[in-house]
Amino acid sequence: MVDVSNKPATARSARAQALVRMSAQAAQALRNATLPKGDAFVAAQLAGIMAAKQTGTLIPLAHPLPLAHVDVTLSWEDEGVLRVEATATTNAQTGVEMEAMVAASIAALTIYDMTKAVDKSIVVENVRLLSKSGGKSGEWVSAQP
């Protein structure tokens, strides 16, 4: 692990996304909440939050962080593309970029798991950091929309 013992704890935040591309039939089942496993949006939000809290055990050499807040939102970009966005915040000696990306990834994978009975060709893609703040490097925002 990187030694952060001499770094001051500062307020830090990160926002990440994952896209879930699916058939019109799967999108309709999600919109109508008619999936056999239940409400996929609620399950995905909870899975993302829980995953963010486990980042330090999932990613080798990642620091376990005291998360102050994690939020997962889901919104439709178009008919068959669901955007999963996760935000993580902390007051710590290192950033929360990995926590935000893990939350977005696991929430997206949960959508896949909940809808695979309708469409096995669903694709989880474009997992990426959108922005971060705090720490020595300060503010950063992705140049990609």
Domain that holds residue 48: 16-134
Asked whether residue 21 is assigned to any structural domain, the reply reads yes
| CATH number of residue 63's parent domain | 3.30.70.640
Q: How many domains is the chain built from?
A: 1
pLDDT digits (tens, 9 = 90+) for 2-48: 888 888 889 999 999 999 999 999 999 999 988 888 899 999 999 99
In a domain, 101, yes or no: yes
Q: How far apart are CA 103 and CA 90, in angstroms?
A: 14
Domain contains 4? no
Report which residue type is found at 11.
Answer: A
Per-residue pLDDT reduced to its tens digit, 62-115: 999 999 999 999 999 988 999 999 999 999 989 899 999 999 999 999 999 999
**Active-site residue identified among 3, 71, 78, 113:** 113
- Is residue 3 flagged as an active site residue? no
The closest of 121, 118, 62, 116 to 94, measured between CA atoms, is: 62
Is 112 a domain residue? yes
CA pair distance 21, 41, nearest whole angstrom: 15
> Is 25 within the bounds of a domain?
yes
